[in-house]
Amino acid sequence: MASHNVRTERDSMGEMEVPVDALYGASTMRAVLNFPISDLRFSRTFIRALGFVKQAAARAYMEMDVLDKDIGGAIDGAAQEVIDGKLDHHFVLDIFQTGSGTSTNTNANEVIANRASQLMGGDLGSRLVHPNDHVNLGQSSNDVIPTSIHLAALLAIKEDLIPALKNLESELRKKSEEFWPIIKTGRTHLQDATPVRLGQEFLGFSGQAENSIKRLGRAQDALAEVALGGTAVGTGVNTHPEFSQRACKIISDTSGVTIRETTNHFQAQSTLDALVEASGQLRTVAISLHKIANDIRFIGSGPRAGLGEILLPEVQPGSSIMPGKINPVISESVIQVAVQVFGNDATVALAGQGSYFELNTMMPVAAFNILQSIELLSTSANNFADQCVKGIQATSTGPAMVEKGLMLGTALSPAIGYDAAAAIAKEASGSGQTIREVAKIRTELSDDQLDQLLDPEDMTHPSLEVKGGGG
């Protein structure tokens, strides 16, 4: 006796029982059973992008009078529900599936076909709208999936990551302006160096965030070229010659990000080169965030036995055994995200090597990792800006240590020569005296001259007055 909890659907291999309320059909159910690998699924952003592609395909073919208007309109409406996230629970497949992503393309075709059939007054499984003949008209998994990956990444970069980095850049720049009057000891090789403004250090951080946004522009340009229209192997068999151009324009108009048909379908479908390039830019962004977060936690180390030049916001107790301990947890979170992105990039790079002849067969795992990288970088950059950078305060420790710094001797070199300045620095180091104290004894420089030469503020900008020409 048939169960009331299932219905029978069919595909090219025969009949298959599926949950009675599921919008997907037999082919999706086969993939569910074939790939019980993990709990990892395609992200909301990817499913949304897939909806944009399917909607644009229907609209393009209706424009060209290839697809019946009633059927096309129903597909358009069902695809809009996919875009809006109303049908996410019907996208049930594991990331670790067929390497072309065919199972997920089929999942989308069946979901949209069944929902479109409902919109036309039919029952689930009635096939008033056919998943292959109508929803997948003029398409292949081999051009739909890479196009959807590119589109998803573009959407996430534009809507999430760039705004997050702009937020971080803004907060770092504000701190740069706030901390500009504060002069502290610079450090190279983790050793004391010449004085620097705390604001200059934060200006460097804000520059990293600003350059990260520029790098994303290069990633966007690479991702904007899509494979749609190449169908199975890049030749465009079974599609209309105008399809890709029309569909790309529709996708650009509806999604808000610009995409364009590739000039070479064979490279676009047989490689993940653009994705590998974009992932590399994300890795560089992660490295920048790692540098900023790590420096900030070191500058704030202490409070008494570390550098202690800044105070980080106290957001939670730092120890289960040491009362009063506060840790740089937000910075540590950013650093962990960076490490994860490094690993994701390695996965994307290796997936890029999975290109054999006319097709790459590691698209789902590449998609999962690059989209996860964008999401993690977006959320962590915003969190870093809002919960850490915004609340940083400067202490008096940095300025208090400047007068004791041995690298003040650098400013003496133009007046007394490198060797003499080095000897003064060595003596000061051994005796515990300051550079000023030793120089007053070992040189003929007056107090006024020493005041002028050893002014830390003058050491935070170009200060050598060149007289005459060089040899």
**Is 463 in the active site?**
no
C-beta contacts of 461-469 below 8 A and 24+ residues apart: 463/411, 464/414
Q: Apex CA 432: angle with CA 427 and CA 434, to 5°?
A: 75
Residue type, 191: Q
φ, ψ of residue 394 to 5 degrees: the values are -85, 150
Pairing state of beta strands 260-261 and 225-226?
A: parallel
CB atoms inside a 10 Å sphere around CB 432: 8
* Alpha carbons 288 and 322: distance in angstroms, whole number: 32
Half-sphere exposure of 398 (CA within 13 A, CB side): 29
Give the active site residue among 319, 396, 429, 463. Answer: 319
Among residues 401, 446, 213, 168, the alpha carbon closest in space to that of 306 is found at 401
Among residues 179, 176, 200, 196, the alpha carbon closest in space to that of 187 is found at 196
Count helices and strands in the chain by DSSP H and E runs: 17, 10
φ, ψ of residue 94 to 5 degrees: the values are -70, 150
CB 365 within 8 Å of CB 148: no
Give the active site residue among 3, 4, 189, 461. Answer: 189
Q: What angle in degrees, to the nearest 10, is found between the helix axes of 329-352 and 273-299?
A: 160
* Alpha carbons 193 and 332: distance in angstroms, whole number: 26
**Is 141 in the active site?**
no
CB 223 within 8 Å of CB 153: yes
Encode burial over 447-463: b for 16+ CB neighbours within 10 A, e otherwise. eeebeebbebeebbeee
Cα 253 to chain centroid, rounded:
24
CB 459 within 8 Å of CB 195: yes
Among residues 47, 146, 59, 80, the alpha carbon closest in space to that of 359 is found at 146
Tracing tokens 């041995």 back to the chain, one arrives at 406
Structure tokens at 115: 């929902």
Active site residues: 189, 319
